Amino acid sequence: RHRAAASSDPADAMDFLKDLHFFRKVPRDLTEATLAGGSLSLISTVIMAYLFVTNTANYLSTSHSTSIVLDRSVDHKLQINFNVTLRHLPCRFASVDVSDAMGMHLLNVTRNVVKHRIDGAGQFLGKVADRAPQIVHGASEKGLAPAPHVHGLSVQLTDHNTFQQVAGGSELVLVNFYAPWCPWSQRLAPVWEETAEQLSKKPYASQVTLAKVDCTSP
């Protein structure tokens, strides 16, 4: 009797586990196959097989794409004026290199850089001695040498009365407000005077006046 009771305990445990099965299997004899169900199963199988093959092929394949992006940022340049005297260094060994925080490096910059030979007293030597300008530091408000006065056909306005007289005598008056120390004013000065000269040869020269005002003058 004891053996029969012991052997029935595992069977009871298996039956208890079967009762806990939430998703019970339906016997095949109780299922019915339909044409619509078979067609849907076939279509679903084909779609799943196609998706599996295409996604696997896309995962294993490599592709290359190239795109060009235009950098529209404005690179502002800072003008640096310098005057360095090296008495014991030949000119051929003196060079200027430029580098910035963005990693740009320019070696042996020669644009707008002028070299002159000098003697022990700091005087210019060679052919440049007769035409070399004398550099004076601190001669202007910004530390730059003042621009030479450009003589031309444009009218120099000195006071309010002159401005009113010129403005009332022409139908169109163009005024250049400049500063002698400003590099942009220095670049515009010869162009402004050349424009005034060309304008004087036009038939409408009496109707248009080009003038200029020195903003640093009192």
Residues marked as catalytic? 182
State whether the Cα torsion 134-138-143-148 is positive or negative. Answer: negative
Q: Which amino acid is it at 179?
A: A
**Closest alpha carbon to 184 in 142, 132, 136, 137:** 142
